[in-house]
Amino acid sequence: MRQIGTIQIERDANRFGAFLHTLGIDNTIDPSADAWAVWVANDDHLEKASAELSTFQTAPSDRRYDDALPTAKALLATQQKAEEKRRGNFVDVRTASGRLQQWNAPVTLALIGISIVVGLMTHVWEEHRIAEQPPLVNALQIAPIVIVGNQYGWDDLNSIKHGEVWRLVTPIFLHFGILHLMFNMFWLRDLGAMIETRRGTLFTILLVITVAIASNLGQYYWKGPQFGGMSGVVYGLFGYVWIKGRVDPMSGIGIRQETAAFMLIWLVACMTGFLGSIANAAHVTGLAVGVVFAYAPYLVRRVTRR
């Protein structure tokens, strides 16, 4: 919201604001110190609105500004109905579990199912030393662990270079503790289903795979191959939903400020080390990728318009 100028008389300010509405320029008129300030909601409209204000100030009595009042009232009524409908479609992750459409998300449900099955097969409720971890864990890690005597190492992603490309993604299905698994699955269900029911299956697959690969590589290069979990993907989905709701509020995708604040506080808390060994690089990388997915199309549209 940016102020483009002021108008001395309240009636004139309201007439001009109504005229801007008929041009598709969302605006508000607020009292200032000794005049009425004109605020424009969308930065893309600033140039046009400023030009119209200059024209208005040269001929404020022009009849077209009077004629704009009834038209603007009708437009605002229509916009209000659309906003009420949008709010009805808006899903907050804290209440999403009660909505049946949130379960109509095959990719999200498949990710949850695979994670649970892998958890059962790798005994997610047990703690394992490297030498005792189930073979499936080693098969799904980004790089297989090689044990020699009392030491261990890995092959610097040579397995991936020789064809085992699934390792770029499969660490997201490994969880080290039942609470780790449950926490990630609840967020995956809510965030993933929100995106999938609105953006579609193919988009969700693309987003998840991109975030998974980026977050897994980020964590590997930061700390090595001993990591796993869906949290990098969860933060990628969160980043997308968070920014999408801000740049495109009519999309029906969004998250409440309190929930976003919790996710960001949790991200920082994990970095302190008090919560144990956590894949912080995967969290940060996933969040960054999700933000880019949401903001890049908005940025392209702005550049194209200009």
CATH number for the domain harbouring residue 63: 3.30.70.2350
Are residue 136 and residue 284 in the same domain, yes or no?
Answer: yes
Are residue 194 and residue 265 in the same domain, yes or no?
Answer: yes
Are residue 51 and residue 116 in the same domain, yes or no?
Answer: no
**d(Cα 270, Cα 145) in Å, to the nearest integer?**
25
Domain that holds residue 79: 2-89
- A 10 A CB-CB count for 233 gives 30
If one counts the domains in the chain, the total is: 2
Are residue 194 and residue 85 in the same domain, yes or no?
Answer: no
Are residue 140 and residue 23 in the same domain, yes or no?
Answer: no
List helix spans (H) across the chain.
10-22, 46-58, 63-89, 106-121, 135-140, 158-161, 178-187, 193-199, 201-223, 231-247, 257-271, 280-305
Are residue 195 and residue 284 in the same domain, yes or no?
Answer: yes
pLDDT digits (tens, 9 = 90+) for 29-88: 888 767 888 988 777 788 999 999 999 999 998 988 888 888 888 877 776 665 555 555
Are residue 160 and residue 124 in the same domain, yes or no?
Answer: yes
Contact predicate 29/14, CB 8 Å: yes
Are residue 118 and residue 257 in the same domain, yes or no?
Answer: yes
pLDDT digits (tens, 9 = 90+) for 281-299: 999 999 999 999 999 988 8
CATH of the domain at 170: 1.20.1540.10
With a cut of 70, say whether residue 257 has pLDDT above it.
yes
Please give the model's pTM, rounded to 2 decimal places: 0.68
What's the distance, CA 291 to chain centroid?
6
